[in-house]
Amino acid sequence: MEVYFSISAGFTLHPRALYCYNIKNDLLDRSELAGVAPRYYLKSAYLDGDGSLEMWGRYNAFGNYKEDIPYTDASAWAIVYKNDLKFLFKPIEFRGYTSIVNIHLLGEYPDRTLLVDRNNRSKHDSIENELILVSAEGEILQRKAMG
């Protein structure tokens, strides 16, 4: 039996990762080093046909990191993890401090599509809120500004 959970520290910066705890074998695994981790909730579904669940959540651009780190929190990201905590596809970056990315599932397997809603809470830049359709392979299919 495995339990998946996310820890996304704030100003302390660490840890920020998705974890898998194998209760039977008393083993803890974590995703690779990153400046972001899923926040508030984890969603899961069968996306790629391998019979294992893929997971994702909400990603915020808080801008707390001052040093160089992969997948910095100066941007929001569309990240989907496989059950082994590797990325399903290369993470998609959405630049803009204070941006938020939520990922929603559309369609039935094998025609799964992800809807990414990207909103920017800052009044000080010109980044528009938008909806983005993304394939389960990470290809951006369509973008629509939300004004």
In three-state form (DSSP H/G/I as H, E/B as E, the rest C), the secondary structure along 29-92 is EECCCCCCCCEEEEEEECCCCCCCCEEEEEEECCCCCCCCCCCCCCEEEECCECCCCCECCCCE
- Using alpha carbons only, give the angle 84, 64, 130 rounded to the nearest 5 degrees: 70
pLDDT of the residue at 97: 80
Amino acid at 29: D
How much is the pLDDT for 107?
82
Q: Say what the pLDDT of residue 11 is.
A: 67
CA 38/CA 75 separation, integer angstroms:
13
Tens of each residue's pLDDT in the chain, 147 residues: 899 999 987 766 678 899 999 999 999 999 998 989 998 889 999 988 888 999 999 999 888 887 788 999 889 999 999 999 999 999 999 988 888 999 999 987 778 899 999 988 666 666 788 999 999 999 999 999 987
Cα–Cα distances in angstroms (integers) from residue 51 to residues 9, 45, 97, in the given order:
31, 10, 36
DSSP run (H or E) holding 28: strand 27-30
Helix, strand or coil, per DSSP, at residue 126: coil
Provide the pLDDT for residue 124.
60
Query: CA nearest 94: which of 39, 56, 48, 132?
Result: 132
CA 147/CA 129 separation, integer angstroms: 6
Instruction: Give the three-state DSSP class for 128.
Output: coil
In angstroms, the CA 56 to CA 76 distance is 13
Q: Which candidate, 71, 69, 76, places its Cα nearest to that of 97?
A: 76
